[in-house]
Amino acid sequence: MLKEYLTVKEIVGPLILLEGVEGAKYNELVEVEFPDGSVGLGNVLEVEEDLVLLQSFEATSGLNIARTKVRFTGRGLELPVSRDILGRVFDGLGRPIDNGPRIIPDKRLDINGNPINPYARDFPTDFIQTGISAIDGLNPLVRGQKLPIFSGAGLPHSRLAAQIARQAGVLGAEEEFAVVFAAMGITFEEAEFFIQEFRSTAAIERAVLFINLADDPAIERIATPRMALTAAEYLAFDLDMHVLVILIDMTYYCEALREISAARKEVPGRRGYPGYLYTDLATIYERAGRIKEARGSITQIPVLSMPDDDKTHPIPDLTGYITEGQIILSRDLHRRGVYPPIDVLPSLSRLKEKGIGPGKTREDHSPLSNQLFSAYARGKEAKELAVILGEAALSEEDRLFVQFSEAFEDRFIRQGEYEDRSIEETLAIGWDLLRILPRAELKRVKEEHIRKYMDNMG
């Protein structure tokens, strides 16, 4: 029998303070029975003597002090898992919402998981071909990596994430894969876009969806990514699958966290976000990777919208400090009609060096990408100069670099939403573009590669 209390003392925003409680544990799951009989979930944020501070995952409207009942479950928040979660849709707290049968659990897993022992990790080294040149060519994704998309309001991050999910595959490999999708605070339409997308490609059979929409309880979002990653860990490390996890939109997750922090009157860090935001995000993002001797893996693509397109805002900033690189979308490219509008210069894949090269992609991949980066950087710099001083102020060379950077955006970065380029195609476009430049400027690529890959092209 669960211990039940009617001793609510205060309700402040999403927080409930209870007194006279015996035996409550930190982070314990509770059931909150509303005066109307409905039941929501919550968990223990702090206990002091007989006082317990709870956060309610359900909106607290309708709660009152006199008739709210709280029951302590004696365990943490768990997700029941079995192979049957594939193809199912859950709410942000892991309850089925697709009218499907109940999950008969293989086991119940605490959604907070445990940190992977760094000694148990295996380094991600398998190149994932996404078919998108701006990613594969310059900022390649590697199996087991956490690579977020930094976006902004109105930018096509959903289309890009969906394209990655649709096209991603490891070269020469036929292995069991799955997609875990967690929506946090996004609109019905955005979520529906993904669901339709998964349906139309039949990927839905291999997908697990956790959906918390904009009008769902905000605090529930705190649990949603953890639900998703618990499912992912089960699929990857118990069932040996390669799992791609899409978390969208981490900004709303962080806002929920801020709401709790503000209600607790904690000393805020930057812009009102709690000082422990870094650590909190790390407990999500670090749940990606590979484990020695395990056959499955977890690759994470969190999506977040940068408030005001500001990369230094705490959410993208702290994310970038934890993840293994970032794909940044550019409003400027988007305005100019370039899809995908990936701003390649500030984008980065930290695992690039380990995932590409001879035997993995091609010997010229790394030097070619460095050359493209530096040439594009120089072209953009020259273009800015031209804006101030006029075209005439540019040297002959600089003009070529400007020409290069324009062609680069048009042919290398730009591609179709359903265009799936092989890595060879991507590299070939890169080499072809370099022909615009004087050969003496191609300092970052080897002469033999120039001869082999640039001169020999048709």
Partner 1 sequence: MEAGVVVKVSGPLVVARDLPDPKMYDLVKVGKDRLMGEIIELRGNLASIQVYEETAGLGPGDEVISTGEPLSVELGPGLLTSIYDGVQRPLDVIRAKYGNYVTRGVEEPGLSRERRWAFTPAVKVGDQVGPGDILGTVPETKVITHRVMVPVGVEGKVSEIKEGEFTVEDVVAVVETPKGEVPVTMMQRWPVRRPRLYAEKMTPQEPLVTGQRIVDTFFPISKGGTACVPGPFGSGKTVLQHAIAKWANAQIVVFVGCGERGNEMTDVLLEFPELTDPYSGEPLMLRTVLIANTSNMPVAAREASVYTGITIAEYYRDMGYHVALQADSTSRWAEALREISGRLEEMPGEEGYPAYLGTRLAAFYERAGRVVCLGKDRREGSVSAIGSVSPPGGDLSEPVTQATLRVVKVFWGLEDRLAFARHFPAINWLNSYSLYLDKVEDYWRREVEPAYAELREEAMGILQREAELQEVVRLIGIEALSDQERLIMETAKSLREDFLQQNAFDDADAFTSLRKQYRLLRLIMTYHRLAARELEKGRPVEELIDLPVQEEIARAKFIPEEELERFDRLEEKVAEQLAGRASEVRA
Told to check if 278 binds partner 1 by CB under 8 A, we report yes
Q: Of 50 and 175, which has the nearer Cβ to partner 1? A: 50
Q: Decide which of ligand ADP, partner 1, none touches 393; Cβ closer than 5 to 8 Å per partner kind.
A: partner 1
What is 151-174 written as a DSSP string? E-TTS-HHHHHHHHHHH-EETT--
Rg (CA), the chain: 25
Q: Does 237 bind partner 1 (CB under 8 A)?
A: yes
Q: CB of residue 204 vs ligand ADP: minimum separation in angstroms?
A: 35
Determine if 451 is a binding residue for partner 1 (CB under 8 A).
no
Q: Which residues contact 100 (CB under 8 A, 6 or more apart)?
A: 88, 89
Build a one-symbol-per-residue string for 52-91: x at contacts with partner 1 by CB under 8 A, - elsewhere: ------------------------x---------------
> Which residue lies nearer to ligand ADP by CB, 352 or 421?
352
Does 350 help bind ligand ADP (rule: CB under 6 A)?
yes
- 393 lies in the binding site for partner 1 (CB under 8 A): yes
Q: Which residue, 104 or 388, has its beta carbon nearer to partner 1? A: 388
**Non-local CB neighbours of 61 within 8 Å, separated by 6+ positions:** none
Which DSSP letter does residue 105 get? -
- What is the residue-wise DSSP string for 77-93? -EEEE-GGGTT-EEETT
Report the site for partner 1 in 138-157 (rule: CB under 8 A).
Answer: 144
Q: Binding-site residue total for partner 1 (CB under 8 A)?
A: 77
3 contacts ligand ADP (rule: CB under 6 A): no
- Contacted entry of partner 1, ligand ADP, none for residue 175, CB cut-off 5 to 8 Å set by kind: none
Least distance between partner 1 and beta carbon 260 (Å): 12
**Contacts to partner 1 from residues 397-436, by CB under 8 A:** none
3-state SS, residue 330: coil
Cα–Cα distance between 118 and 145 in angstroms, integer? 15
Answer for the pair 101, 82: CB distance below 8 angstroms, yes or no: no
- Closest separation in Å from C-beta 78 to ligand ADP: 35
DSSP state of 299: E
Q: Which of 279, 336, 417, 448 binds partner 1 (CB under 8 A)?
A: 279
Site for ligand ADP in 320-349 (CB under 6 A): 348
Contacts with partner 1, 160-179, as mask; x by CB under 8 A: --------------------
- Residue 186: enclosing H or E segment and its boundaries? strand 177-186
Residues 222-281 that bind ligand ADP (CB under 6 A): none
Burial class (CB in 10 A: 0-12, 13-18, 19+), 435: middle
Tokens of 122: 């295996």
Least distance CB 450 / partner 1 (angstroms):
13
Contacts of 172 (CB under 8 A, 6+ apart): none
- 27, 44 in Cβ contact below 8 A? yes
Six-digit token pair at 168? 């991603």
Which chain residues interact with ligand ADP by CB under 6 A?
A: 348, 350, 352
